[in-house]
Amino acid sequence: MLVIVAPGQGAQTPGFLTPWLEDPTFATRFAWLSTVADMDLAGYGTEADAETIRDTQVAQPLLVATALVAALELFPHPTDGFSRIGAVAGHSVGELAAAAGARVITAEQAMVLVRERGKAMATAAARTPTGMTAVLGGDRDEVRAALEEHGLTAANDNGPGQVVAAGTAEQLEAFAAAPPARARLVPLSVAGAFHTHHMAPAVDHLGMLARSVSVHDPRTRLISNRDGTLVHDGRDVLRRIVGQIASPVRWDLCLETMADLGVTGILEMPPAGTLTGIAKRVLKGVETFALKTPDQLDDARAFCDKHGEESDMGTNPTWRMVVSPAKGTFHIAADAADAGSLGAGAPVGDVASLRDRIHVTAAHGGQVVEWLVEDGDLVSPGQPLLRLHPEGAL
């Protein structure tokens, strides 16, 4: 199984876009997305220094535009991608690129949203001196306890031995003075405490704009940063992306879901390296490909051919199939067990794991054709639970 991932803020480096813009097709498409964002993204990606592209308002649109156009270079015909990609995911702002790649939103909608996201987060960060510090190593429980003691948030949990603490400057200074045992602290060059309550004003702004955005259900499995579950409802994808601004990125749970899906290959869109580096440490035996420059495209396509397999979502549209969002034990809802039809949003059941219990609903509703699992069955992420037809379609 092939999973495509898009990196988040911090992956950018000065001049990383230069070789990509030598391709006229890439340059033209990139110019269009730059126009939508009303920014000279080509200039930022080729000429700007590290401090300039560190700016949240610059970095976020630059990363999303690069991932989207590079995806078209990798899969010139998007349907070719859907016949190979098993799932997509994006780290933090990379979720917007993943959502556009899965056809939840258009590339143009993604660029407007990321432009406003970057502006709103920069404004929120300017209200109070805040920051982020990577915590490398140490005992997980001890690290978590130390963060709680200092009032900090684990804004990014990227897997064993890699947590990012976020909070006020004073909280981070106190934390640095008494770090957890065997942990190394690395202050990050970011504008503020992203993915914490300090970003609440940005959530309000983007949430207001998102109400006017039309969405479609994903064309391939989309793994959410919020809790690592698979999301098959386009409206829920957008809600999660908006809320993610002020809530932690659980990339560790995304990796767990990839493992549950049976991933064999992970390809990271440019500027690549961060997420494949994490995957190498966490998902032993899974091959990775960091797409950094256009001269790697032929090898990247061969990688996709090797690991790609068509998702069952290509033949079973999500509005006809209710699927499991996670790994666990499925319990059928009492009202759904003998129902001949289910309304939109009706409870179907829940998936219980050692970590939590996730409610499953019939997003679009319809006539019950057949149950594909029984009460108490163990299920995996994306496994079909119930087949439905829209009312009147039988």
Q: Would you name the residues annotated as active-site residues?
A: 92, 195
Distance CA 273, CA 252 (A): 17
Strand-pair category, 162-168 with 183-187: unpaired
8 A C-beta contact, residue 385 and residue 349: yes
- Distance of CA 219 to CAs 94, 270, 275, 286, 308, Å? 17, 22, 23, 24, 15
List of residues 6+ apart from 363 with CB closer than 8 A? 217, 232, 233, 236, 318, 319, 322, 344, 345
Q: Which of 321, 328, 331, 317 is nearest to 362 (CA)?
A: 321
Q: Within a 13 Å sphere around the CA of 178, how many CA atoms are in the beta-carbon half?
A: 10
Q: Which of 95, 134, 73 is nearest to 292 (CA)?
A: 73
8 A C-beta contact, residue 304 and residue 2: yes
Token reading at 194? 């992203």
Distance CA 278, CA 251 (A): 10
In the chain, the amino acid numbered 223 is I
8 A C-beta contact, residue 135 and residue 178: no
Element (H, E) at 135: strand 130-137
Q: Which of 388, 110, 387, 383 is nearest to 221 (CA)?
A: 383
8 A C-beta contact, residue 63 and residue 118: no
Q: Which residues pair with 350 in a beta bridge?
A: 331, 359
130: left (phi over 0), alpha (psi -120 to 50) or beta: beta
Distance CA 114, CA 219 (A): 21
